[in-house]
Amino acid sequence: MSPLTQYLLAFVAIVIVPIYIYYTKYSKLLKFVRQFPNPPVIPLLGNALDFKTPGEFLKKLHEYTKTYGPVFHLQFGLRHSLVISDYKFLEFLLSHNSLLRKNANIKFLKPWIGDGLITADGGPRWRMHRKLITPAFHFKILEQFVDVFEADGDILIEKLSKESGNKSVDIYPYVTRCALDAICETAMGTKINVQTNQTSSYFESARHMCRLFVTRSTSILGRYDFFFQFTNDYKVQEKSVKILHDYTKEVIQNKRRELTNKHSDNTVDNTDELGRKRKKAFLDLILEAKVDNQTLTDEEIREEVDTFMFAGHDTTATSSSFILYCIANNKEVQEKILEEQRDIFGEEKNPKVTYANLQEMKYLENVVKEGLRLYTPVPISGRLIEQDVEYNGQIIPKGMNVGIFFHGIHMNPEYYPNPEKFDPSRFEVVGNKLPFAFIPFSAGPRNCIGQKYAMVEIKSIVSKVLRNFELSPAFPRHDLDLTPETVLKSLNGVRIGLKLR
């Protein structure tokens, strides 16, 4: 065989055959996706270069939604995705009982949280865990967590007091420590006190794992385990995961021991150091819970508790910070919140706040909702279509990636006129609610299990800060530099002015 023939055969084997296989395998998918508009692509790279930084990613998605409408198509290398913020399409995807699988990037959380509810594949194991864990979020349980939120909030106020009178303070680092203390105590019944201990290996490790999730999701090589294992970040991940897991495992073992002792010895003391009845943490409830006579193994419990630790602090911290920022920049809204606080507590700055009090804060609730709309903590989430499914008379083929663009629908003027404006009165209109137009906690079977917890905690933090401080815009003026990391963050902090009342 001549050398030319050999070269030709090699070319066919290496280039043509894979392309042929790709197009035959994905022809259905390509045919489907091509009916939707898409921004111009570069051969092979697709739209990959449109998104150089995570911050640009969010801006571009909004820009494309404006140009191409609420369903458009993006290409990353050979991967195709739809980005959806269309009401009907979202309603269909989020409500469907068999479209529950997250897309590939979620796997970068697995070294920490394994197959906990967030990362689970949406199959029978996830269903069983969801059923078993749901009762732990009953309002009777949340009621007893208010004392924890309030006590951690008091420390927050003490810390922020030192910043009083400064023209600008970045509140996010303070609030995030407060939220981590709260989730630790409510999830595991233990205290890590990261508000008072500035150096905490648990806190640092949790930060590293959140950062690595974003770095790996956006890295061309780092996303592959093969390349990642040679990086310094891999060593950071190994060390962080060990610290995080060791902590949770030890707490679980101690609780198991307590539980066994309790069953064998009825005299075990169920009160805390002040003689109050001990609160049940999520962990206590999960250890005792059964579905169809089945319980969770210690490893499964560890994964779920770590999932709460991950999902339950940065989300509430970032939302509370953005909401305080909105209030600081809207004097009228601040006055109305205070008026409501006075109606409930009189002039008392540090009353004993109960669950019922927090439920009374109706105006504040609208403020929180408007903050979640404008600064949606999880701006987008992904799903992988696992089997052909019919929507609107056509088949969405198996293998399709869809981006559920929560923030996209929140910024659609059809549902929210003048969407850039912070206006809590939008949520005052009763009887005109479209459930899939306000979805900061997602919706349907895989919605956020912690949404009531989050609302209670955010109201507790925000109302406490407002009763204690007069908020003002930062000086010099501070514009947020938003970026969707594990949750929405501001790269230049969330700065406001604070003055003790």
Shortest Cβ 488–ligand HEM spacing (Å): 9
- Chain positions 123 to 182 lying near ligand HEM, rule: CB under 6 A, are 130
Buried b (16+ CB within 10 A) or exposed e, 79-96: ebbbbbbbbebbbbbbee
Shortest Cβ 400–ligand HEM spacing (Å): 16
414: Cβ contacts below 8 Å, ≥ 6 apart: none
Site string for ligand HEM, 64-103 (x = CB under 6 A): --------------------------------------x-
Return d(Cα 270, Cα 357) in angstroms, integer.
Answer: 28
Please check if 448 is assigned to a binding site: yes
Return the residue of 46, 450, 484, 497 that touches ligand HEM, per CB under 6 A: 450
Place of tokens 């890295």: 219
Return the residue of 403, 440, 444, 497 that touches ligand HEM, per CB under 6 A: 440
Burial class of residue 439 in the structure, from the number of CB atoms within 10 Å of its CB (0-12 exposed, 13-18 middle, 19+ buried): buried
Number of residues that bind ligand HEM (CB under 6 A): 23
238: Cβ contacts below 8 Å, ≥ 6 apart: none
413 with 439: CB under 8 angstroms?
no
**Closest to ligand HEM by CB, 38 or 186:** 186
Shortest Cβ 134–ligand HEM spacing (Å): 9
Instruction: Work out whether 330 is an interface residue with ligand HEM (CB under 6 A).
Output: no
**Closest to ligand HEM by CB, 72 or 441:** 441
Burial class of residue 6 in the structure, from the number of CB atoms within 10 Å of its CB (0-12 exposed, 13-18 middle, 19+ buried): exposed
Return d(Cα 361, Cα 382) in angstroms, integer.
Answer: 34
Q: What is the largest CA-CA distance in the chain?
A: 95
**Closest to ligand HEM by CB, 28 or 130:** 130
Instruction: Work out whether 279 is an interface residue with ligand HEM (CB under 6 A).
Output: no
Return the residue of 71, 82, 93, 118 that touches ligand HEM, per CB under 6 A: 118
Return d(Cα 256, Cα 288) in angstroms, integer.
Answer: 10
**Closest to ligand HEM by CB, 397 or 444:** 444
Helix (H) or strand (E) holding 482: strand 482-484
- Chain positions 300 to 329 lying near ligand HEM, rule: CB under 6 A, are 307-308, 311-312, 315-316, 319
Return the residue of 442, 470, 472, 480 that touches ligand HEM, per CB under 6 A: 442
Helix (H) or strand (E) holding 462: helix 451-468
How far from 363 is each of 166, 267, 419, 456, 483, CA to CA, in Å? 28, 47, 19, 14, 28
- Chain positions 354 to 373 lying near ligand HEM, rule: CB under 6 A, are none
Buried b (16+ CB within 10 A) or exposed e, 305-327: bbbbbbbbbbbbbbbbbbbbbbb
> Which of the stretches 138-146, 341-349, 375-383, 394-402 binds ligand HEM when contact is defined by CB under 6 A?
375-383
Comparing every residue's Cβ against ligand HEM, the nearest one is 450
**Closest to ligand HEM by CB, 168 or 358:** 358
Q: Helix/strand/coil (H, E, C) string of 197-238?
A: CCCCHHHHHHHHHHHHHHHHHHCCCCCCHHHHCCCHHHHHHH
| Terminal alpha carbon distance of the chain | 90
Shortest Cβ 74–ligand HEM spacing (Å): 18
Instruction: Work out whether 497 is an interface residue with ligand HEM (CB under 6 A).
Output: no
Instruction: Work out whether 441 is an interface residue with ligand HEM (CB under 6 A).
Output: yes
Shortest Cβ 64–ligand HEM spacing (Å): 21
Q: Binding-site residues, please? A: 448
Q: Binding-site residues for heme, please? A: 448
Return residues touching ligand HEM (CB under 6 A). Answer: 102, 117-118, 130, 307-308, 311-312, 315-316, 319, 377-378, 381, 440-442, 446, 448-450, 453-454
